[in-house]
């Protein structure tokens, strides 16, 4: 089997508003069945990015970190499933919350702390890694092997395939 090429885009944002704006542009490009896997430390801006993505999908509901539920569903023309695995105690629990049902469902699924269910993530996904570089500066790396998502993220930032 030929593995499709990986696309990698790097964006730096200088404040939360810029991260929201990036999310909005990304959200407008996402569609049914897309899975976005977010990683990065606490406070890196994962939930902030989800806010932008929701706005870009035309969803006006308040996006916050699901506290007691691991998954929040927001209805829209295309529904958004917001998963946050921060409070997850182990991979066994992931199995029991039925994330797969969402991932293979009829909306966009965004997973915070996606590394906690790494082995269960679909191969066709968009990985977004957020890194704190300063008080309000974040380095955001988007990676995908999906041809469809690769086309979608082109133009969001600089192509970092050749350098870093
Ligand atoms: P996470 O979900 O990764 O734990 P949050 O999005 O909840 O992170 O929190 C990020 C915090 O950092 C927010 O208080 C936000 O206002 C702040 N912040 C500062 N600069 C940025 C930036 N460039 N991008 C995103 N958030 C930022
Ligand atoms: Mg969060």
Q: What CA–CA distance (Å, rounded) separates 70 from 86?
A: 8
Q: What CA–CA distance (Å, rounded) separates 66 from 94?
A: 15
Mutate to test the pocket of ligand 1, among 43, 65, 72, 110 (most ligand atoms within 8 A of CB): 43
Give the sign of the dihedral formed by CA 143, CA 159, CA 57, CA 138.
Answer: positive
Which pLDDT value is given to residue 99? 75
Judged against a pLDDT cut of 90, whether residue 156 lies above it is answered with no
Judged against a pLDDT cut of 60, whether residue 50 lies above it is answered with yes
Q: What CA–CA distance (Å, rounded) separates 130 from 120?
A: 21
Q: Is 115 helix (H, G, I), strand (E, B) or coil?
A: helix
Question: Which residues form the pocket of ligand 1, taking CB atoms under 6 Å from any ligand atom?
Answer: 13, 15-16, 18-19, 40, 42-48, 112, 136, 138
Q: Which residue has the higher pLDDT, 67 or 46?
A: 46
The residue-averaged pLDDT of 39-60 equals 97
Which pLDDT value is given to residue 159? 61
The residue-averaged pLDDT of 39-48 equals 97
pTM: 0.92
Instruction: Read off the pLDDT of residues 138-148 as tens digits, 9 standing for 90 and up.
Output: 999 999 999 99
């Amino acid at each position: 089997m030929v593995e499709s090429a990986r696309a990698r885009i790097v964006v730096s944002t200088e404040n939360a508003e810029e991260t929201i704006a990036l999310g909005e542009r990304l959200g407008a490009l996402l569609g049914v069945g897309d899975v976005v896997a977010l990683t990065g430390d606490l406070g890196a801006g994962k939930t902030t990015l989800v806010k932008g993505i929701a706005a870009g999908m035309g969803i006006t509901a308040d996006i916050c970190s699901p506290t007691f539920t691991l998954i929040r569903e927001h209805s829209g023309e295309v529904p958004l499933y917001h998963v946050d695995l921060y409070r997850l105690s182990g991979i066994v629990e992931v199995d029991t919350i039925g994330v797969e049902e969402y991932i293979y469902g009829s909306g966009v699924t965004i997973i915070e702390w996606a590394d906690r269910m790494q082995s269960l993530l679909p191969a066709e996904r968009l990985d977004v890694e957020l890194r704190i570089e300063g008080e309000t500066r974040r380095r955001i790396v988007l990676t995908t092997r999906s041809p469809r998502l690769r086309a979608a993220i082109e133009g969001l930032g600089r192509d970092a395939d050749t350098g870093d």
